[in-house]
Amino acid sequence: MTPRTLPVRRLLAGLARRAARAKRPGRAWTVPAAVLAGAVAGGAYGLLSTPEYAATGYVVVVPGERSDPAGAMGLAQAYGRVATDLALAGDAAVWARVSPATLRASVSAATSPDAPMISITARSEDPATAAAMADGVARALVQKGAHAEESTRVKVVQFSRATTPTRPVSPSAPLAALVGGAGGGLLGGLSLLVRPQRDAGAADGGAERAPAATGRGAAVPGPAVGDASQTGAV
């Protein structure tokens, strides 16, 4: 191999690398494509999923004549933690006309941090069923409070009944598409952060192979061998 062929080989190698890079998809389309895919998936989920309704009722713990208001706050916290268990022990599932497993999975209770009040929220695909489950759990708490009133010295009263919801709480199709598009854009951006490392590793590998080929070509240059033979002849 003569030194004149080295620039040609380098030129051909450079053209091959550029052609390989041209075949790769453009990075500029990665994030928009991910956003579009996420928005389509989210919109499809919002359209195909069954709407869910939520109903909320409220129960308040009232201190007795000789009880401490702070004790009412503590009992409200206790009732809120075991609201579902107390409801299952009573007839809440029968009143709501659902199974105990459905009642446990669909009802949640939360206690106010600054008042002895418990909010009971039930979720269901049927608005009337959601309201019935919330009222059933509240009724069970009132009965339990009445049975334990002599020992606790507090009274559990239903403060507000749950109303039948008219609008679903599940995400709508536009909102689901917006959330899906945001998630797709995040994943697309993360993929762009990973790809440059792989490309840099490939470039480093090519750079390491190029000097090795050049070294083999320069080890036995043509003119140098000719000069040495002429010197030996003289």
Which tokens hold the place of 117?
A: 């009040």
Which residue type occupies 119?
S
Q: What is the pLDDT of residues 81-96, one digit of tens each?
A: 988 888 887 788 888 8
Residue 50, Ramachandran bin (φ over 0: left; ψ between -120 and 50: alpha; else beta): beta
Among 29-38, 119-128, 166-175, 207-216, whose mean pLDDT is lowest? Answer: 207-216
Distance CA 149, CA 153 (A): 5
Residue 196, pLDDT score: 56
Q: What is the pLDDT of residues 9-33, one digit of tens each?
A: 665 566 566 555 544 555 667 767 7
Mapping DSSP to helix (H, G, I), strand (E, B) and coil, where does residue 157 land?
strand
Distance CA 68, CA 202 (A): 74
Q: What is the pLDDT of residues 143-169, one digit of tens each?
A: 988 888 888 888 999 999 999 998 888
Residue 138 confidence (pLDDT) above 90: yes
Distance CA 224, CA 226 (A): 5
Residue 167, pLDDT score: 87
Residue 187, pLDDT score: 74
Residue 151, pLDDT score: 84
Q: What is the pLDDT of residues 35-70, one digit of tens each?
A: 777 767 766 666 666 788 999 999 999 987 777 777
- Going by pLDDT thresholds of 50, 70 and 90, the confidence category of residue 176 is low
Q: Are 133 and 98 in contact (CB under 8 A)?
A: yes
Distance CA 191, CA 226 (A): 56
Whole-angstrom CA distances from 164 to 29, 106, 129 are: 47, 15, 8
| Arch. (CATH architecture) of 53-160 | 2-Layer Sandwich (3.30)
Q: Are 174 and 77 in contact (CB under 8 A)?
A: no
Residue 229, pLDDT score: 42
Q: Are 181 and 39 in contact (CB under 8 A)?
A: yes
Residue 217 confidence (pLDDT) above 50: no
Residue 173, pLDDT score: 63
